[in-house]
């Protein structure tokens, strides 16, 4: 049976009339999720959002797929505005990042707080820190933000007020966002025969172990973030808080065979090459414990090594010897290579 006026069923629903009494702990993550949905939809397949594993100030990492072009975003949200559309917020100066690539997103979630208001502020961190008035609150230096979310007024932040339906244009204006990304070069070697595929849970052993080693080596100086749904080759996005640089790690986990070999395969597409993107091959022994060494390979070296190879361990295949790293040193080795050179 045909619907009467079927297109009308696709319109956004009327706002529900339930009462929503949210705690601050609930409200903040809801705002982050709603903004992430809006930006990913506005990206039309070009954008992905990574979320930090450990919160160190940045709430979302907006990244262009198949690249390390990344925009750190801090999210602040209002449950209520004044009758004329003003939002007022005091933020400790130390709580606002000064990352030159990042943005502060100021949003309103009107009751019942399940959707964003139709406009939001997207303010570069540096602009916010330079222009926002400051004052003392409970003996702490704070930024005193006041912004009007209506379109009929003009204030200090009007130029950073963005309509939700204009987010595609905002993304397109990000430097290099629309620059074409070339496909990866072809491997110079024929593909090897593919061995037994690891079960997914064994693959996750490598990911979780690597995250632990990076956190241990970083000692709170880095942020690890990951996409909720992985759409390209970046398993972990790493943000170095001191240099403010972004790096990526593609993690492969290989099971050592009784013959002391391991199969190494990197899917392409969606692989890409960047000087701060590395491939880590985590080797698992028969008992699923991590072997005494791993292979840490710059993405730039992969076309010459091959994307699908069977590697011998005793002795290690010669062309992979330069990338051997003791397992206990993996975190520090990656951070030094990605950020200190």
Contact 104, 76 (CB under 8 A): yes
Give the pLDDT of residue 11: 54
In terms of residue numbers, what domain contains 209? 200-339
162 and 209 co-located in one domain:
no
Model confidence at 23, in pLDDT bands (50, 70, 90)? confident
Model confidence at 315, in pLDDT bands (50, 70, 90)? very high
Beta-strand relationship, 261-265 and 60-64: unpaired
> Mind listing the pLDDT tens digit for each residue in 219-269?
999 999 999 889 999 999 999 999 999 999 999 999 999 999 999 899 888
Residue 245 domain-assigned (yes or no)? yes
Residue 284 domain-assigned (yes or no)? yes
Residue 11 domain-assigned (yes or no)? no
Last-in-domain residue among 128, 156, 172: 172
159 and 228 co-located in one domain:
no
98 and 168 co-located in one domain:
yes
Beta bridge partners of 195: none
Contact 74, 104 (CB under 8 A): yes
215 and 155 co-located in one domain:
no
205 and 322 co-located in one domain:
yes
Beta-strand relationship, 86-92 and 140-148: antiparallel
Residue 193 domain-assigned (yes or no)? no
139 and 261 co-located in one domain:
no
State yes or no: cis peptide before 112, omega within 30 of 0.
yes
Contact 240, 340 (CB under 8 A): no
Model confidence at 197, in pLDDT bands (50, 70, 90)? very low
> Backbone phi, then psi, for 162, in 5-degree steps?
-120, 130
Residue 177 domain-assigned (yes or no)? no
Give CA 154 to chain center in angstroms.
33
Distance (Å, whole) CA 65 – CA 67:
5
Write the CATH number for 331. Answer: 3.40.1350.10
Residue 84 above 50 pLDDT?
yes
Closest by CA to 50, choosing from 31, 77, 71, is: 71
36 and 146 co-located in one domain:
yes
Last-in-domain residue among 135, 153, 172: 172
Number of domains in the chain: 2
Q: Where are the beta strands (DSSP E) in 197-328?
A: 222-227, 236-240, 246-255, 261-265, 277-284, 293-298, 308-312, 324-326
> Mind listing the pLDDT tens digit for each residue in 30-42?
999 999 999 999 9
206 and 161 co-located in one domain:
no
135 and 207 co-located in one domain:
no
DSSP string, 29-41: HHHHHHHHHHHHH
Distance (Å, whole) CA 15 – CA 19:
11
Mean pLDDT, the chain, integer = 89
Residue 180 domain-assigned (yes or no)? no
24 and 164 co-located in one domain:
yes
Residue 9 domain-assigned (yes or no)? no
Give the pLDDT of residue 319: 95
Last-in-domain residue among 155, 172, 189: 172
Contact 65, 232 (CB under 8 A): yes
Tell me the mean pLDDT in the region 60-64. Answer: 98
Closest by CA to 232, choosing from 45, 18, 27, 29, is: 45
How many other C-beta atoms are found inside a 10 Å radius of the C-beta of residue 106? 25
Give the pLDDT of residue 7: 43
Distance (Å, whole) CA 5 – CA 3:
6
State yes or no: cis peptide before 59, omega within 30 of 0.
no
155 and 233 co-located in one domain:
no
46 and 131 co-located in one domain:
yes
Residue 4 domain-assigned (yes or no)? no
């Amino acid at each position: 049976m045909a619907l009467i006026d079927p297109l009308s069923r696709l319109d956004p629903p009327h706002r529900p009339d339930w009462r929503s009494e949210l705690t601050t702990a609930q409200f903040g993550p809801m705002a982050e999720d709603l903004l992430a949905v809006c930006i990913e939809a506005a990206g039309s397949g070009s954008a992905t959002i990574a979320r930090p594993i450990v919160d160190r100030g940045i709430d979302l990492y907006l990244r262009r797929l198949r690249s390390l072009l990344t925009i750190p975003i801090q999210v602040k949200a209002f449950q209520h505005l004044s009758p004329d559309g003003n939002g007022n917020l005091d933020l400790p100066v130390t709580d606002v990042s000064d990352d030159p690539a990042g943005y502060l997103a100021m949003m309103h979630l009107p009751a019942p707080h399940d959707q964003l208001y139709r406009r939001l502020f997207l303010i570069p961190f540096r602009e916010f820190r330079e222009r926002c008035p400051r004052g003392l609150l409970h003996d702490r230096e704070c930024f005193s933000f006041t912004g009007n979310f209506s379109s009929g007024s003009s204030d200090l932040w009007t130029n950073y007020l963005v309509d939700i339906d204009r987010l595609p244009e905002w993304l397109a204006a990000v430097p290099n966002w629309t620059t074409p990304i070339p496909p990866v070069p072809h491997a110079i070697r024929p593909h090897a025969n593919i061995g037994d595929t690891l079960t997914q849970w064994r693959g996750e052993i490598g990911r979780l172990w690597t995250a632990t080693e990076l956190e241990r080596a970083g000692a709170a100086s880095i942020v690890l973030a990951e996409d909720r749904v992985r759409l390209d080759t970046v398993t972990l996005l790493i943000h170095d808080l001191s240099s403010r640089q972004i790096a990526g790690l593609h993690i492969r986990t290989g099971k050592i065979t009784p013959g002391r070999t391991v199969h190494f395969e990197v899917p392409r597409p969606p692989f890409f090459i960047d000087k701060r993107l590395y491939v880590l091959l985590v080797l698992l022994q028969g008992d699923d414990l991590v072997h005494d060494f791993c292979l840490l390979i710059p993405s730039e070296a992969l076309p010459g090594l091959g994307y699908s190879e069977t590697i011998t361990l005793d002795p290690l295949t010669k062309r992979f010897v330069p990338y051997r790293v003791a397992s206990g040193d993996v975190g520090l080795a990656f951070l030094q290579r990605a950020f200190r050179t």
